[in-house]
Chains A and B, each alone.
Chain A
Amino acid sequence: MVPLWMYLAVAAALFCIGVFGVLSRRNAVAILMGVELMLNAVNINLVAFWRYSETGTPLLLNGYAFTAFVLIIAAAEAAVGLAIIITVYRNRRSVIPEEADTLKG
């Protein structure tokens, strides 16, 4: 049996790799991929806590249902995010977020 903390440790590692990707990559698409990694790290945590919940009643569906909602948000976020990236690219010929600065005074 795998103890709970190992799942949490893997999720923590995944989350931090995602954070590194978001902070350091220049390409907007790569940043979006980092965000996806972070969302999935959260999902591992939610499902693991649900499975190991001390109450012993996994019928309490919180972790399970919330993971489903996170997946929905991830899909919506990817669709809108990529649409924005494509539009910015079309207008400014760039996929670097710092260069989309038209609104800057």
Chain B
Amino acid sequence: MELNAVTIGFFIFTILTLGGAIGVVTTRNLFQGTIWLMVSLFGVAGYFVLLSAPFLAAVQVLVYIGAIAILITFAVMLTRSVTRIKERYIRTIPSLVVSLALFLALLFGVTVPIFGDYSSELAPTVVMTTRDLGLALVEGNGYVVPFLLASVLLTAAMIGAIFIARDEES
């Protein structure tokens, strides 16, 4: 693997993604955990740029940093009994074993082509633009049904979240 902009970017984003993720599961302080989560998801957005999906990268930053991070921060602030929880983890050893075993199994799966050989070459040229995605989302033989379902789901989630979280006394 030669050293060029893409590979250097890949390593930087790997450090961000995995480092941030480890930060999320190890930090005691939940607000810091949120910041680590954002670092990690920023790295994921970087991967999207490398994989020539800039639209997804922008949406990733917008949705996670603009919306979910703020939501989680508010939830952390509103549920401030964190100090009451003495131990950080429960079932530490079993969880560690399970996730490590899963990781090894997955790593074996992706490096050894047991499920048939897959191409390791980039598809020649990506001619797709955001316009194509937009068209595919509203085209009859595209993704119009999932798109509409997703809109309904979002509306339902919004109404549901407001209804559940509303203070009944007021």
Which A residues lie at the B interface, using CB under 8 A?
1-10, 12-21, 23-27, 29-30, 32-34, 36-37, 40, 43-44, 47-48, 50-59, 61, 64-65, 67-69, 71-80, 82-87, 89-90, 93-96
Measured CA separation A71–B133 after assembly (Å): 15
Report the nearest A residue to B37, measured CB to CB.
A33
Q: How far is the CA of A31 from the CA of B21 in the complex (A)?
A: 13
A-B contact count (CB 8 A): 250
B residues with CB within 8 A of A: 1, 6-7, 10, 14, 17-18, 21-22, 24-25, 30, 33-34, 37, 40-41, 44, 47-48, 50-53, 56, 59-60, 63-64, 67-68, 71-72, 74-76, 78-79, 81-82, 84-85, 87-92, 94-96, 98-100, 102-103, 106-107, 110-111, 118-124, 126-128, 132-133, 136-137, 142-143, 146, 150, 153-154, 156-158, 160-162, 164-165, 167
Q: In the assembled complex, how far is the CB of residue A28 from the closest CB belonging to chain B, in whole angstroms?
A: 8
| The residue from B99, B110, B137, B143 contacting A20, defined by CB atoms under 8 A apart | B99
CA distance A75 to B124 in the complex (A): 33
Provide the residues of chain B in CB contact with A57, threshold 8 Å.
123
Once A34-B24, A71-B63 are accepted as A-B contacts, the answer to whether A12 and B103 lie under 8 Å apart by CB is yes
Whether the Cβ atoms of A1 and B6 lie closer than 8 Å is yes
Chain A residues, Cβ within 8 Å of B33: 30, 33
Which chain A residue shows the least CB distance to B20? A37
Q: CB distance B60 to A71 under 8 Å?
A: yes
**Given A1-B1, A8-B110, A20-B95, do A51 and B161 touch, yes or no (CB 8 Å)?**
no
CB pair B127–A51 under 8 Å, yes or no, is no
Distance in angstroms between the alpha carbons of A52 and B51 in the assembled complex: 9
Given known A-B contacts A4-B120, A83-B161, A29 and B96 have beta carbons under 8 A apart: no
Q: Complex: how many Å from CA A61 to CA B147?
A: 13
Could you tell me if B78 and A17 are in contact, using CB atoms closer than 8 angstroms? no
Q: Across the interface, name the chain B residue whose C-beta is closest to A21.
A: B25
Bound CA–CA A26/B82 (angstroms): 10
Q: How far is the CA of A20 from the CA of B34 in the complex (A)?
A: 17
Report which of B41, B84, B90, B167 forms a contact with A24, defined as CB distance below 8 A.
Answer: B90
- A64 touching B67, Cβ below 8 Å: no
> Chain B: which residue is nearest A85 at the CB level?
B75
Starting from the known contacts A61-B133, A83-B164, 8 additional A-B residue pairs (CB-CB under 8 Å) come to A14-B40, A29-B72, A36-B64, A52-B122, A67-B56, A69-B146, A79-B71, A89-B81
